[in-house]
Chain A
Amino acid sequence: MNSNRSNTILLLPVGIGIVLLALLGLHIGDIPTNGLDVYNAIFTYSDSNLSELIIREIRLPRVCIALIAGAALSIAGMLMQTLFQNPLAGPYVLGINSGASLMVAIGILSGAGFLSTELGLIGAALIGAFVFGLFILFTASFLRSQIGLLLFGVMLGSFVSAIITILELSSEAESLKAFALWSMGSLNGVTIEQLPVIFLVFILGGVASLFIVNPLNLLVLGEEECRLMGYNVKRLRLMIVFITALFTGLITAFCGPIAFIGLAIPNLTRMLFKTQDHKLLLIANLLFGALFLLSCDILIQLLSAWILIPINALTSLIGAPFVIYILIRKIR
C-alpha cells in the first residue's frame, strides 16, 4: 500500500502539464497570436478582436473537447477492463464504438429527418453505444474466454463496417464526404455552443463513475466474490455499460471514432500506479487520458504545416504498438 502512495505524486506534474499544454493549444494555430491575446480571450473577451475571436471560438472548443474526449474514453476503457477482467478490453475493441458509428452513419448517410440533426445524431450515437454495450454484456455471460470476447468485438466491428460500406455506396456525394470526414475523427467539429452540453454529459458520467469506485475495487475479485461480499453485481454491470455507452456515444458523435485511447491509457495507469484502487485509477485515467489526447492534437497541429494527420490515425499509430507491447508482456 505504501508503495502506491508515493506514486500519487505523479498526478501533480500531469495536472500541471495539462494546464501548460492547454495554454499552448490556445496559442498555436494557423493564425499567429501572442500570449496577451490568450489572456484577453479568457479573461476580458471582446469579439471585435480577431485573435481573441479565433482563440475563443475555434481553439478553446478544440482544447476542451480534446481534454474531455481523452478523459472520457480512458475512463470508459478502465471500466470495461475491470468489468471483463481483461486488460485488452476497451470501448473500441469491444465494438461499443461500432454501435455509435452505425447509428451516426445511418443518420448522416440517409440524411433523413430528425436523425441527421445534431441532437438526433447524439441521441442515436448514445443509443447505438448502449445497445451494443448490452449486446456485449449478454455475450460475455456465456462466452467466458477473454480472447473470445475480444474476437467477438472485432467481428462486431467488421460486421458494422460492412453495413456502413453498403450505406456509403448508396448515398449522395455530399453526405458521403461529411461521413468520411467524421469517420477520420476530428476535434475540429465542436463549437463553443455545444461545449456546455458535452461538459454536462461528461460530468454526469464522471459522477456516476465516482459512485461505483468501491464496488469496482471488489469486482476485480470476480463476480461471485462480489456477490458473496453482499453486492448486487447485475446492477453494477448495467451501471458500467451505461457509463461506458454515455462516454463512448458522446465522444463518437462529436469527434468520430477515436481508437486505442480507451485501451492504452488504462493499462498505462495501472502499470504506473500499480494499484487496483479505482478511485486513484479514475483520477489517473481522467488526467492521463486528457493529457494524452491534448498532446496528440497539439502534435497534429505542429505537424500540420508538413503533413495532415487525422486524430484517429495518430492515436492508432501510438496506441497499437503500445497494445502489442502489453500483449507480449502478458503472454511471456
Chain B
Amino acid sequence: MIEIKNTEIGFDASLFAIPEMDFDQGKVHVLLGKNGIGKSALLNTLSGLIYPIEGSLSFDGKLLPDYSYKHLAKKIAYVRSNVKGVPFLTVDAFLLLGRYHDKNFIGKHSAEDYALIQKAKDLFGIAHLADKFTNELSSGELHLCAIAKAYVQQTDYILLDEPTSHLDYANKRKVYELLGKMASEYNKGIMISTHDLDLAFKFPFDFYLIESQSKTLKSVKTFKEVEREFI
C-alpha cells in the first residue's frame, strides 16, 4: 500500500496538496486533472525521481527515501509519457533491459527472463515487433513496448503517465483491460494519469481528481463529479 499524508507535490514549487490518501495493490488508480495541474509531478514523486515539496510518503510501511535505488526498481516500474526509441536497440533488447535490476555485473539473462519477455510480447500483442529497432516503431507501438517492459520488471506497483495518449482506440481499450487484469490477477498496484475520461470510466477503476480550485487531490466516484472540472 502507498500511504501519503500531509504532502505537497510539485517539481520546484508546490502544485497541489494531498491531505491523506492511500493506494492499495490489486487496483487501478486513475489520476485525473487539467493539464499542468501536477499529475506527472505526483507520478514522478511516487517513482522516486523527485522528492515531495513537503511531507513524506511510504510504500508498504517504509518511507520512500529509505529505499535504495535498486530496491525501488524492484518495487516500482514507471512508464514515462515520452518514451523515445533508440537506434539499433531492438524491441527484444529493450524488453530485456526490464530485467536489469535483477542482474549481477555479468548480466547474463536466464531462461526465465526470455520466457518472461515472450509472455509480455504475447500479452501486449507486440511479438511481431521483436526484431525491429525501437526508433523505427510508431509512437503507439513504442508505448506498448514500454508498458510491456514495465510488466517485465515484475514490480508490485506500476506507474504510467498518460499511457494511452499515443494509442488508437482499440489499443486504448486493450491497455485498460490489461492494466485491470494485471491489478486483479497479479495483485499489482497500478496508477495512471489520463485524459481519456469517457473510456476510463467504463472500467471498474478507482478515480482521483486533482481539483484546480482547492489544489488538492480527492477521491471521486462518478463521471459527474469530474465533469465540472473540465467544462
Residues of A within 8 A of B (CB): 1-4, 211, 213-214, 217-218, 220-222, 224-225, 227-232, 270, 273-277
Residue of B nearest to A87 (CB): B87
Segment of B23-31, B69-77, B195-203, B207-215 engaged in the interface with chain A: B69-77
Q: Which residues of A contact B74 (CB under 8 A)?
A: 230
Q: Does B229 contact A (CB under 8 A)?
A: no
Partner of B101, one of A230, A274, A275: A230
Query: Which residues of B have CB within 8 Å of A224?
Result: 49, 80
The answer to whether B100 touches A229, judged by C-beta atoms less than 8 angstroms apart, is yes
Complex interface: chain A residues within 8 A of B153 (CB)? 229
Q: Which residues of A contact B90 (CB under 8 A)?
A: 1, 4
B100 CB contact (under 8 Å) in A218, A232, A275: A218
**Are B103 and A214 in contact, with the CB atoms below 8 A?**
yes
- B residues with CB within 8 A of A: 47-49, 68-74, 77-78, 80, 84, 86-90, 92-94, 97-98, 100-101, 103, 105-107, 130-131, 133, 153
- CB pair A231–B105 under 8 Å, yes or no, is no
A211 to B94, CA, bound (A): 20
CB distance from B120 to the nearest CB of A (A): 15
**In the bound complex, CA of A222 to CA of B84 (Å):** 9
Task: Kindly list 6 other residue pairs between chains A and B, CB separation below 8 angstroms, not including A224-B80, A230-B100.
Answer: A2-B131, A3-B131, A217-B97, A218-B97, A218-B100, A276-B89
Please judge, given known A-B contacts A1-B131, A214-B105, A231-B69, whether A275 and B84 are in contact too, CB under 8 Å.
Answer: no
Contact for B69 among A213, A232, A273, CB less than 8 A: A232
A211 neighbours in B (Cβ, 8 Å) = 105
Interface CB pairs A-B, < 8 A, 10: A1-B130, A2-B131, A214-B106, A217-B93, A224-B49, A227-B49, A229-B153, A230-B68, A230-B72, A230-B74
| Cβ of A330 to closest chain B Cβ, rounded Å | 10
- Distance (whole angstroms) from the CB of B156 to the closest CB of chain A: 14
**Are A230 and B93 in contact (CB-based, < 8 A)?**
no
The smallest beta-carbon distance between B81 and chain A, in angstroms, is: 12
Q: Indicate if the CB atoms of B92 and A1 lie closer than 8 Å.
A: yes
Known: A214-B100, A275-B88. Is A230-B69 also a contact (CB below 8 A)? Answer: yes
- B71, B90, B133: residue with the most chain A Cβ atoms closer than 10 Å: B90
Contact B97–A277 (Cβ < 8 Å) = no
Smallest CB-CB A-B distances: 8 pairs: A230-B73, A230-B70, A214-B107, A230-B101, A276-B89, A230-B69, A229-B100, A1-B92
Taking the closest CB of chain A, its distance from the CB of B43, in whole angstroms, is 11
Q: Is the CB of B80 within 8 A of A276?
A: no
Complex Cα gap A68–B93 (Å): 31
Is the pair A270, B88 in contact by a Cβ cutoff of 8 Å? yes
Known contacts A230-B69, A276-B88, A276-B89; is A221 also within 8 Å of B105 by CB? no
Residue among A217, A222, A225, A228 with most chain B CB within 10 A: A228
Instruction: Specify which of A220, A227, A228, A230 is in contact with B86 (CB 8 Å cutoff).
Output: A220
Q: What is the bound-complex CA distance between A273 and B87, given in angstroms?
A: 12
For the complex formed, measure the closest distance between the CB of A8 and the CB atoms of chain B, giving whole angstroms. 14
Q: Establish whether residues A276 and B105, one from each chain, have CB atoms under 8 Å apart when the complex forms.
A: no
Residues of B within 8 A of A218 (CB): 97, 100
| In the complex, chain A residues whose CB is within 8 Å of the CB of B72 | 230
